[in-house]
Structure 1
Amino acid sequence: MMINGITYMHEHTTINLSEVKNTEDCQLDVFSETVKEYKKLYEKGVRNIIDVTNFGMGRNIPYVQKVAEKTGMNIIFSTGFYQEEFYPIQVFRKTREQLAEQMIAEIIEGIKGTNAKADIIGEIGTSYNKWTDTERKVFEAVVIAHKETNKPITTHTSIGTLGHEQVVFFKENKVDLNKVVIGHVDLTGDADYILQMLREGVYVEFDTIGKENYMPDRTRAEILKKIQNAGYIDRVFLSMDITRKSHLEYRNGLGYSFLLDSFIPLLHSYGITDKSIEKMLIKNPLTFMNN
């Protein structure tokens, strides 16, 4: 499924959360600018983007396929339901079995009548410090879809909260933790909290690189050094989770290349080895997506 090269494990080629967030900035639909940035990434060795935009997030398959076509980027599609605040009405009305069927169809048959098939389930989320009943129903539906298709699962934690609870849920539901990545863990700012998850056997994502309004990148680097020292760097992915127009270069945002141009040199300065960086950017994603 995957090709070689660097993988950004948690991105949105296009996304629209503007209704809920009440700002047009959250409608990321600037095609030519995204193409420009993906081309730049391609020149730097990035070959794969895991696009975790799903139901209720403004998913637009033909748009993303055109971006892939123009840039040469291998873009992986996902299926699932984000978190309660953004659920379409059907998520509340349908049973978990019906939701599972919907995801399975997108994996096996294709998404919304296109030839694009989902290769990952996610991003599925819990709310901030709160796991709602409907979110739990979605997670239960995901377990059914995962067991039917063996596709990996990628999660959203709101500001890093409930990561441990998500791990417990997957363990209790007998999901192979090698197939699960817990998202946004860097926002906890807490190495021990993250190491506890890693010891359980899941993967984790430092996927909000550069979002210093949430967490300084130096804190991310310090935690990654501790993870390297503890021997768990082969369970970590990196990404930026770009979701706004203002995140892009044309609006003087950091842009997608920031991860490679600025964050990787920062990691070097903290003693993160080339081998560790190669694992996080290239080897770990390949292992996860192909196991």
Structure 2
Amino acid sequence: MPIYNDGYTYCHEHLYIDLSEQKRDIDCKLDQYTLICEEMNNLVSRGVFNIVEVTNRYMGRNPHFIECLMRDSGINILLSTGYYIEGFFPSDLYEKSAEDIRDEMIKEIEIGIDGSAIKASLIGEIGSSENVFSDTEKKVFKAAAMAQYETGTPISTHLSFSTMGKEQIAYLKQCGADLSRVTIGHCDLRNDLDQMLWIIDQGCYVQFDTIGKNSYFPDEKRIDMLEALANRDLLSQVMLSMDITRRSHLKKNGGPGFLYLIDEFLPKLLERGFSQQQIDTMLRHNPYTLFN
């Protein structure tokens, strides 16, 4: 599924995800179709035409739910293949080889996901735990590098609280991945400009994809880091998103809602002196380049 270049793209979202069993919290089952569809309609009306949906195997991925959202809202949604992090792996994953996992990924990229008409457009979100990169997580990364080699598919990763970015990239490089087709998620959860500069220097994209999650890290500091990257003329390797994962994140449930990035965050960027061209680079041109 290609990206539509005439609109904005959120690079890292969840439109149907169910981690309620692992987290023992029903709030972690994001499945309220009417509310989500309404928010997608609102996004389309404001020029957001694409969502990169990074819910993968064993995270409650639901391609039929996504098919209905695309039909009813008109938004374009890219789906993912892969496995998440320790604590969210199925038990049989530990017995599979990297080659087995690679073949699963390629099947979902080339044939389709769970009997739906939708093929996976990216490998993600695959991740490492906080301050740890386990052997099984590395096995998934090795499989991703092999699947990328066979298909050219981009890879989207998960950093737990912005840790282990260098380790992820070093291992992907060791496995032969094309780093220009890799985007590193959750780089905006701590003030680590040096890590971001290093990641960009390796040729990868960095994601500021937890915008609005001020209880984790304030948006004002996110803007400070974006400004530092802008001053170095590095926004051509930056993308934006919100990583909405819970019912309580939706607007009608008291959360910021998907429009927060457009209605609240972008005006703050403009006030800080960012140009519309810089915003278009992060929300339009960079996702189009990576995901097509």
TM tier relative to shorter chain = over 0.9
Residue 212 of structure 2 corresponds to residue 210 of structure 1: yes
> Which runs of no fewer than 5 residues in structure 2 stay unpaired?
none
1:97 is matched with 99
**Structure 1 residue aligned with 2:271, among 252, 269, 273?**
269
One-letter code of the match for 1:201?
Answer: G
Distance in 1 (alpha carbons) for counterparts of 2:14 and 2:67:
13
1:231 is matched with 233
Distance in 2 (alpha carbons) for counterparts of 1:188 and 1:90:
34
SS of 1:186 mapped into structure 2? coil
Distance in 2 (alpha carbons) for counterparts of 1:182 and 1:139:
13
Distance in 2 (alpha carbons) for counterparts of 1:62 and 1:262:
31
Distance in 2 (alpha carbons) for counterparts of 1:39 and 1:278:
21
Distance in 2 (alpha carbons) for counterparts of 1:107 and 1:193:
31
Q: Please, what TM-score do these two structures have when normalized by structure 1?
A: 0.98
1:115 is matched with 117
SS of 2:189 mapped into structure 1? helix
Residue 70 of structure 2 corresponds to residue 55 of structure 1: no
Distance in 2 (alpha carbons) for counterparts of 1:217 and 1:274:
19
**What is the RMSD of the two structures over their aligned residues, measured on CA atoms?**
0.8
Distance in 1 (alpha carbons) for counterparts of 2:172 and 2:95:
24
2:8 is matched with 6
Distance in 2 (alpha carbons) for counterparts of 1:135 and 1:191:
25
Contact 1:224/1:272 (8 A) holds in 2? no
Residue 30 of structure 2 corresponds to residue 28 of structure 1: yes
Quote the offset at 1:198 in angstroms.
0.9
**Structure 2 residue aligned with 1:155, among 154, 157, 177?**
157
Distance in 2 (alpha carbons) for counterparts of 1:194 and 1:246:
30
Distance in 2 (alpha carbons) for counterparts of 1:165 and 1:76:
27
User: Which stretch of the first structure deviates more once superposed, 74-83 or 84-93?
Assistant: 84-93
SS of 1:50 mapped into structure 2? strand
Contact 1:222/1:270 (8 A) holds in 2? no
Quote the offset at 1:96 in angstroms.
0.9
**Structure 2 residue aligned with 1:184, among 183, 186, 195?**
186
Residue 167 of structure 2 corresponds to residue 138 of structure 1: no
| Superimposed CA distance per residue, residues 129-173 of structure 1 (whole angstroms, 9 cap, x where no aligned partner) | 001111011111111111111100000000000011111112222
Q: Please, what TM-score do these two structures have when normalized by structure 2?
A: 0.98
| Superimposed CA distance per residue, residues 31-83 of structure 1 (whole angstroms, 9 cap, x where no aligned partner) | 00000000000000011000000001000110111011100001001100011
Residue 246 of structure 2 corresponds to residue 244 of structure 1: yes
Residue 282 of structure 2 corresponds to residue 280 of structure 1: yes
Quote the offset at 1:192 in angstroms.
2.0
> Which runs of no fewer than 5 residues in structure 1 stay unpaired?
none
Quote the offset at 1:10 in angstroms.
0.3
